[in-house]
Amino acid sequence: MPAGPPLPANGQPLHVNGDGVSKDTRRRVIMASFIGNFVEWFDYAVYGYLAATISAVFFPQSNPQTGLLLTFALFAISFMVRPLGGFVWGRIGDRVGRRNALSVSILIMSAATFCIALIPGYNAIGVWAPILLLIVRVAQGFSASGEYAGASAFLVEYAPANKRGLYAAVVPASTAAGLLLGSLLAGLLTVLLSSEAMQSWGWRLPFLLAAPMGLIGRYIRTRLEDTPVFRELEAEGEAIKAPISSLFRNHWRQLLQAVGAVLLNAVGFYVILSYMPTYLSSELGLGATESYLATTIALLTYIGFIFLTGMLSDRYGRKKVLIAASITFIVLTVPAFALLGTGNFLVIVLVQILLGAMLTLNDGTLPSFLAEMFPTRVRYSGFAVSFNLSNALFGGTAPFMATLLIAATASDLAPAWYLVGAAVISLVAVILSRETSKEPLRHE
């Protein structure tokens, strides 16, 4: 057996980073990691923004409101299967490689998204229409659950040691880019096509794009070698056969810390970038066009700042930036939501820019933080399980909880206090964790 990497003072073997990797390989790694999350969130954006049309196609219209609720219920179900997907893809990624897991997951995910465009409507096949839609949404959610974690681990393990935060920031950037393009395309189709054309065939067009994008992503991924650290682990015969049991047995503290650290991301992302148009229009009375425009500006701010926060975490450490993110949300969220209530569009836009920038402090740092928290043998599993568990419980339910809290308290500031609570829990979890940005990636 090869001698393996040198041992530091604590006696634990350390992995090297991808410092000897060529620039061309790194560019292909970045592209391969970007495209999977992009396709995933492109689908979610289109599905969300065209929900009214989709409900008219797949459900009987004797009660349109019930059809819309069922459409969003299918959206939520796709999140409920994510923890299961996290276990499965984490096990595959840690046993047979990150590249293999990502190559299969993007194929299933893009195929499921593409199939949405092919399902006949309720008027053609009756109750089978929503049943088939449910099946493909579950398949899409299951396959997507390995993307964020796998792409983050892939980038961190290929990145130079001093740029892991910057490289990992590609993942949340791809998420926001997919959300942005999906919303823009859905809006463009709504403007260009009549309601009859949209309901007949127009809504299908964005989902058809998933096939070529997925095939391109798979092609790029299969032409890459697995990460240097995983190949090193494999060459030493150290790839673990039961990563999930090892994760819960040996790394349960890190797992709990990770679930807590993800909470602000889970609630913040869905409240600020997904629920916000509904909040501005339904709760504050802003016009639909203005609501989506304000949220689009927040998305652009998010994409613009995300790489800056990745670089800040490389320079100052993951913990400092994540702590700053939590404190910022604790202090500024309620005043920011109070300013939204003024109804002044310019003020709303400025607040959206502020919220988008605040969110990047967490989201731009979290991928490298989670990937570094777990050793190579269980990195994919630890990231996937913690991230998907927190998002399934608190992310996918955030719009529902925000609406429920407003109804229960009769206060438009209820979602802000919900965000503050998430930030407090994340702050405690991050404080209890250790700083890893300056350390080599660990074996065990």
| Residue 383 belongs to a domain | yes
Residue 204 lies in a domain: yes
Name the phi and psi angles at 442, rounded to 5.
-90, 150
155 lies in a domain?
yes
Q: How many helices (H) and strands (E) does the chain have?
A: 24, 2
Asked, for residue 89, whether it belongs to a domain, the answer is yes
Is pTM beyond 0.85? Reply is yes
Residue 310 lies in a domain: yes
Report the domain count for the chain: 1
> Cα torsion at 14, 15, 20, 25 (round to 10°)?
-160
**Is residue 217, in this structure, part of any structural domain at all?**
yes
Reading the block at residue 105, the tokens are 């997951």
Taking Cα atoms as reference points, which of 341, 334, 346 lies closest to residue 424? 334
Q: What tokens appear for 114 in the block?
A: 């593409």
Domain that holds residue 154: 14-442
| The predicted structure's pLDDT at residue 7 | 39
CATH for 70:
1.20.1250.20
Whole-angstrom distance, CA of residue 215 vs CA of residue 223:
12
Tell me the pLDDT of the chain (444 aa) as tens digits. Answer: 344 444 343 444 444 455 567 788 889 999 999 998 898 888 888 887 787 788 889 988 776 667 767 777 777 777 788 899 999 999 999 988 899 999 999 999 899 999 999 999 999 999 999 999 999 989 988 988 889 999 999 999 999 989 999 999 999 999 999 988 988 888 888 888 888 898 899 999 999 998 898 899 889 898 888 888 888 888 877 667 778 888 999 899 999 999 999 999 999 988 888 788 778 877 788 887 788 788 788 888 888 899 999 999 999 999 999 999 999 999 999 999 999 988 888 999 999 899 999 999 999 999 999 999 999 889 999 999 999 999 888 887 787 788 788 888 888 899 999 999 999 999 999 999 999 888 888 756
Q: Is residue 248 part of a domain?
A: yes
Measured distance CA(298)–CA(276) in Å, rounded: 10
Residue type, 202: G
**Which among 205, 262, 227, 250 has a CA at the least distance from the CA of 82?**
262
Note whether residue 58 is domain-resident: yes
Select from 73, 68, 80, 72 the least CA-distant residue to 144.
Answer: 80
